[in-house]
Amino acid sequence: MLSVRRGQAALFVSDMHLADAQPRTGRFFLETFLREAQAVSHVFVLGDAFDAWVGDDQISALPADGIEAAFIRALAALAQRGVMVGVMRGNRDFLLQAEARPGWCEATGARLLPDPCRIEIDGTPVLLAHGDALCTDDTEYQAFRARARTEAWQRAFLAQPLAERQATARAMRAQSELAKQTRDEAIMDVSPDAVSALMAQWRCRLLVHGHTHRPAHHRLRVNGEDAQRWVLPDWDAERGRGGMLLARDGIIGPVGPWPAPAPAPAAMPADFGGR
């Protein structure tokens, strides 16, 4: 299990949706990220780092002066400095390191994290997730998610030329944005029952996730005990929106440009039963 020891610090971020076509948001994120990552021992990227990732051969096609390539170099520099960099796939970049050959992990020095992933911070169990699997009321999306995670689907998709995959991703994104206009907002948020069940299954009283673009600090009860759920912000330079979480010395709280009013830092809860 990944462990952040006493005296170390962990930075959590997600939903940057980096794309060379959106350089302002990319620069806004990178400037904040590089500043906050200077004094941490662990960085956890919890999905949707990229607006679209259609296979690791995308790396060689990136413009060297673009935002996406700059982020890859930034992660590699952190890893070379000894920072543990963990990256989780999201719904937009679930094809990161999808093939058993040198690719994303080799380019960045990052460790690919399962979703969900249980870590410890100074002995406190913390559950990490992207968050899309918790939106169980959106049955149409969950059906696609299950299909797109199969080896057969990914093998067939990755067999297509890069340009075709990129065009397909753009079309799917446009279709998704159109569908959101008529979809009930509630089903695009996490299900409270799914959250409680997952936290109970993994015996964690602290969950950190992204995906929903609804940054907040929620307090809840799981198995009759106090628990916390932190939701990371998405990034948008036009709205000055973004932010990360920093965990250090038993405290977890927002850093960077969180939407106001930003939640106050909070003490991390112990394991179930105080263990």
| pLDDT band at 273; cut points 50, 70, 90 | low
* pLDDT tier, 99 (very low <50, low <70, confident <90, very high otherwise): confident
Topology of domain 3-274, CATH: Purple Acid Phosphatase; chain A, domain 2 (3.60.21)
Q: State residue 188's pLDDT score.
A: 86
Share above pLDDT 90 across residues of the chain, in percent, rounded to a whole number: 89
Strands (DSSP E) along the chain, which ranges?
A: 3-4, 9-13, 42-46, 84-88, 111-113, 117-121, 124-128, 206-209, 216-222, 225-231, 244-248, 251-255, 266-267
pLDDT, tens only, 144-181: 999 999 999 999 999 999 999 999 999 988 887 777 76
Place 101 in a pLDDT band, splitting at 50, 70 and 90.
Answer: confident
- Looking at residue 176, what is its pLDDT? 78
Confidence check: pLDDT of 14 > 90: yes
Give the angle 243-247-253 at the CA atoms, nearest 5°: 50
Rounded distance, CA 235 to CA 19, Å?
12
pLDDT tier, 25 (very low <50, low <70, confident <90, very high otherwise)? very high
Q: What is the pLDDT of residue 182?
A: 65
Least confident residue range of 70-79, 118-127, 179-188: 179-188
Q: How far is CA 201 from the centre of its chain?
A: 21
Answer yes or no: is pLDDT of 100 > 90.
no
Q: Classify 243 in phi/psi space as left (phi over 0), alpha (psi -120 to 50) or beta.
A: left
**In the predicted structure, residue 106 carries a pLDDT above the cut 80:** yes
The predicted pLDDT at position 186 comes to 73
User: Which sequence spans correspond to the domains of the chain?
Assistant: 3-274
Which whole number is the average pLDDT over 65-91? 98
Q: Is the pLDDT of residue 114 over 60?
A: yes
Is the peptide bond between 116 and the residue preceding it cis, with omega within 30 degrees of 0?
A: yes
Interval 123-136: pLDDT, tens: 999 999 999 999 99
If pLDDT is split at 50, 70 and 90, which confidence band does 187 have? confident
On whether the CB atoms of residues 210 and 48 are closer than 8 A, the answer is yes
pLDDT for the residue numbered 274: 55
